[in-house]
Amino acid sequence: MITSRRRLRLGAATAVALLATLAPVTAASATTDTTAPKISTTAIKQWLGPGDMKWRGAFWSANPAYSWSSSDNVGVASHEVQTWIGSGKGSRLGASTWSSTAKYAKTYAGSRRSVHVEVGEGEQACQRVRATDAAGNRSAWSGWRCTYAPFGEDTVDGAWDPSAFSFKLRKTGTANDRISTVPVKATGVRIRVATGPSRGKAKIHIGSTYLGTVSATAKRSGSKYVTLRRSSTLTGRIKVRGISNTPKSFLVTGLWALRSTSKLSSATIGHPATPAEYSEPGLPAPVASSDTTKPRITKFAFAPAWPSKRAGNGMYRATASWSAADNVKVTGYLYQEKRAAGGTSHFGASTTYTTQTTQTRWPDYDGDTICLRARARDAAGNLSSWTGWKCSVAPITVLGGNWASGGFPSIAGSAWVYAAVSPRTSDQTIDRFAAKALRLKVRTGPTRGKAKIYVGGTHFGTVNTYAKKNGSKWVVVRHKREVRGRIRVVAKTKKVYVGPVYVIKDVSKAVRTEIG
* CATH label of the domain that carries residue 448: 2.60.120
**For residue 30, is it within any domain?**
no
- Render 256-308 in DSSP notation, one character per residue: EEE---GGGG-TTTTSTTS-GGG--TTPPPPPP-S-----EEEEEEEE-SS--
Q: Residue 401, SS3?
A: coil
Please indicate, yes or no, whether residues 228 and 302 belong to a single structural domain of this protein: no
467: exposed, middle or buried (Cβ count in 10 Å: 0-12, 13-18, 19+): middle
**For residue 393, is it within any domain?**
no
Please indicate, yes or no, whether residues 254 and 291 belong to a single structural domain of this protein: no
Count of domains forming the chain? 4
Closest CA to 287 of 381, 355, 376, 377: 381
Please indicate, yes or no, whether residues 471 and 428 belong to a single structural domain of this protein: yes
Give the helix/strand (H/E) hosting 22: helix 2-32
Closest CA to 227 of 55, 47, 493, 96: 47
Please indicate, yes or no, whether residues 144 and 157 belong to a single structural domain of this protein: no
**For residue 394, is it within any domain?**
no
5: exposed, middle or buried (Cβ count in 10 Å: 0-12, 13-18, 19+): exposed
Specify the length of the chain in residues: 516
Count CB atoms within 10 A of the CB of residue 352. 15
Q: Do residues 307 and 395 lie in contact, with contact meaning Cβ atoms separated by under 8 Å?
A: yes
Please indicate, yes or no, whether residues 209 and 229 belong to a single structural domain of this protein: yes
| Distance between CA atoms of residues 301 and 374, nearest Å | 10
CATH code (residue 355): 2.60.40.10
Closest CA to 164 of 206, 209, 122: 122
With a cut of 70, list the residues of the chain below it in pLDDT: 1-31, 56-59, 87-104, 154, 157-162, 170-177, 244-247, 260-282, 346, 348-349, 398-401, 404-425, 507-516
Q: Which residues pair with 353 in a beta bridge?
A: 334
pLDDT for position 101: 29
Closest CA to 494 of 443, 437, 420: 420
CATH code (residue 242): 2.60.120.260
**CA separation (Å) from 21 to 11, 25, 28, 74?**
15, 7, 12, 20
Please indicate, yes or no, whether residues 233 and 164 belong to a single structural domain of this protein: yes
Q: Do residues 215 and 250 lie in contact, with contact meaning Cβ atoms separated by under 8 Å?
A: no
Closest CA to 191 of 176, 206, 175: 206
**For residue 405, is it within any domain?**
no
Closest CA to 152 of 122, 189, 123, 177: 122
Among candidate residues 91, 116, 149, the one where a domain is terminated: 149
**For residue 199, is it within any domain?**
yes
Among candidate residues 129, 149, 169, the one where a domain is terminated: 149
| Distance between CA atoms of residues 462 and 338, nearest Å | 32
Please indicate, yes or no, whether residues 140 and 160 belong to a single structural domain of this protein: no
Please indicate, yes or no, whether residues 192 and 235 belong to a single structural domain of this protein: yes
Count CB atoms within 10 A of the CB of residue 464. 15
**For residue 257, is it within any domain?**
yes
Please indicate, yes or no, whether residues 356 and 324 belong to a single structural domain of this protein: yes
pLDDT for position 490: 84
Please indicate, yes or no, whether residues 296 and 251 belong to a single structural domain of this protein: no
Please indicate, yes or no, whether residues 289 and 381 belong to a single structural domain of this protein: yes
- Note the pLDDT tens digit of each residue in 193-232: 999 998 888 899 998 899 999 999 999 999 999 999 998 8
- Give Cβ neighbours of residue 262 (< 8 Å, ≥ 6 apart): none
Q: Residue 6, SS3?
A: helix
| Distance between CA atoms of residues 247 and 59, nearest Å | 33
pLDDT for position 431: 81
Query: Whole-model pTM?
Result: 0.50
Containing domain of residue 161, as a range?
A: 153-262
| Distance between CA atoms of residues 137 and 27, nearest Å | 17
Give the helix/strand (H/E) hosting 378: strand 369-378
**For residue 16, is it within any domain?**
no
- Render 64-108 in DSSP notation, one character per residue: PEEEEEEE-SS-EEEEEEEEEEEETTEEEE--S---SS-TT-EEE
**Residue 40 backbone zone (phi > 0: left; psi -120 to 50: alpha; other: beta):** alpha
Among candidate residues 80, 114, 149, the one where a domain is terminated: 149
**CA separation (Å) from 336 to 39, 347, 359, 376, 386?**
37, 12, 11, 12, 9
Type of residue at 115: V
Q: Do residues 191 and 225 lie in contact, with contact meaning Cβ atoms separated by under 8 Å?
A: yes
**Residue 450 backbone zone (phi > 0: left; psi -120 to 50: alpha; other: beta):** beta
**For residue 90, is it within any domain?**
yes
Please indicate, yes or no, whether residues 51 and 110 belong to a single structural domain of this protein: yes
